[in-house]
Amino acid sequence: MRFGKGHGTQNDFVILPDPGGALDLPPGLVARLCDRRAGIGGDGVLRVVRTAALPPGTVAPVPPAPAQGAAPPAEWFMDYRNADGSVAEMCGNGIRVFARYLLGHGLAAGPEIRIETRAGTRLVREEPGGQLTVDMGAPAVLGRGRALAGGFSCDGLRISLGNPHLACVVDVPLGKLDLSGPPSVDPALFPEGANVEFVRVTGGRRAEMRVHERGSGETRSCGTGAVAAAVAAAEATGERGGAWHVRVPGGDLTVTLDGATSLLTGPAVIVAEGDLSPAWLAGLPFPAARSAGRKGSRCSGSAGPGRIR
C-alpha cells in the first residue's frame, strides 16, 4: 500500500492513493495509520479516489447553474477520515493538501481544481506564491451554544461549513485553556459532536485560535475551524466583511468573508511518500523477511513507481 504524508499549517494527514476505489479502509486501520507512536501519525486520513469509482449515492448531485444543465461531478473525491476512524464531511486544511498531491502527481491541471467532498464540490486555486485558496462556501450560522472545557465555560456561535462547529470568542489567554479532553457541548444541538474553537481577537481583523476537533483531539490547526473563528470574530466586532488573519499553533491562515461565500488561503506541503510495510499491515509484531530481489521499500516522488494514473 502506497502512502504520502502532508500537512497544512501542521494539521497533518496520511494520504492513501486509491484511484480505483479498491481499498478497504475500516476505522481500526485508520486509527493505526494515525497513531503517532506505532503508525505514521496524523490528524486524519485522505483517501484519493476517483469519483467514478465510488458507490452510487456517495456524492450529492450538483445543482444546475441558472439556464444550464447540471455540472458533471469533479474527477477526484476527498474521502476524509478523522484520526479515530470516523468519517468527516469536510477538512479545509486537508483539501489543500489533497490538491497539492493531485498537482504534484500530475493528476489534475491547475491553477483551479474542482474536488468532491461529502460537504459538496469545492474549488481550489493555486496562488502565484504557492499557497492554495479553497472556496469553502457560505458559512451557515445556526444560533448560539455553550461549551465547557476543563472547567472553563463560554458561549459561542454554532456554525456549519458542511461539518459542525462551535466558535467561542473569549478574552482569556488561550494558553490557559485545558483542551486535553473533548469540550462538552449540548448533544441536542450537536448530535454528531462538534469541532470547538476558542478565539481571541487581537485587533485589526486578526485573531488567534485553538481548536479541539471531534475524532482527532486538539490539533495544531483546523481549516474549517479557522473560517468559523473568523465568522465568530466578525460577529463579535461588527466587522463582517473582508479578510481575517487567523493565527493557529501551526501557522497562519487567511479567511476572506464577502457575505456570499468564504475563502480559506494557506500553505500545503507534501512531506514524504513511500510504502507501508506488509508486516505492519498484517499486524505482525516484527517485520517479515524480505523476499528475494526486494531491497527495502521504495520511496519516490510523482515520477517514480508509486505514481497513480
Q: Residues 253, 95, 232, CA angle at the centre, nearest 5°?
A: 45
Which residues on adjacent β-strands are paired with residue 218? 212
Residue 93: name the closest of 272, 246, 265 by CA.
Answer: 265
For residue 224, give the 3-state DSSP assignment: helix
Residue 13: name the closest of 116, 83, 103, 108 by CA.
Answer: 83
Between the CA of residue 196 and those of 6, 32, 290, what are the distances in Å?
Answer: 23, 25, 46
* Catalytic residue (one of 34, 91, 154, 168): 91
Residue reference for cell 476543563: 150
Q: Report the C-alpha gap between 113 and 247 in whole angstroms.
A: 26
Q: Where are the beta strands (DSSP E) in 70-216?
A: 76-82, 112-117, 120-126, 132-135, 140-149, 152-160, 164-169, 195-201, 206-213
- List the grid coordinates of 8: 497544512
Residue 226: name the closest of 260, 253, 263 by CA.
Answer: 253
Q: Are 147 and 154 in contact (CB under 8 A)?
A: yes
Active site residue 168: no
* Catalytic residue (one of 34, 154, 168, 222): 222
Peptide bond into 164 cis (omega under 30): no
Active site residue 222: yes
Active-site amino acid positions: 91, 222
